[in-house]
Amino acid sequence: INVMRISLHPGGLAPRIANLPEWRDHLLRRLRRQIEAAGDVELAGLHEELSAYPAPRTPTGHAPGATTDNAVAIPLQLRSNAGVLSFYSTTTIFGTPVDITLSEIAIEAFFPANRETAETLRRMAADA
């Protein structure tokens, strides 16, 4: 299972991403940087596949890439039954692992990007 594939596929999470044009562009640019750094043909194939998924229209007034070129962080905004939830993410990559089983592992963690999202998540956890 590939999280990028699930995130951007029209039959996956993509329809629930409120800011899909920006998030898609962010993910594809990040993947492109990984390909340039590693020269990995499998990643290049993944980039080609993801780029072929239907592209959402870009926000009015923004050219493709304009919203993510200089951005420090692009939030992930998910539509939910509780409204739009906003998250920022951090990625940890194990580049020189002590244990070979950690080679090329990346962990992406998502955190509430605003108070409303944090409060909604607390309420949802309490209700669960």
Residue 16's Cβ-side half-sphere holds a number of Cα atoms within 13 Å equal to 14
Cα→Cα distances 112→3, 54, 63, 103, 119, Å: 19, 28, 27, 29, 9
pLDDT at 93: 74
Q: Checking phi first, is residue 122 left (phi over 0); if not, alpha (psi -120 to 50) or beta?
A: alpha
**CA 124 from centre of chain:** 22
Helix (H) or strand (E) holding 72: none
Bridge partners of 51, per DSSP, are: none
pLDDT digits (tens, 9 = 90+) for 21-78: 999 999 999 999 989 988 889 999 999 999 999 988 765 444 444 444 556 678 999 9
* Total-model pTM: 0.80
pLDDT digits (tens, 9 = 90+) for 82-103: 999 999 998 887 766 566 555 6
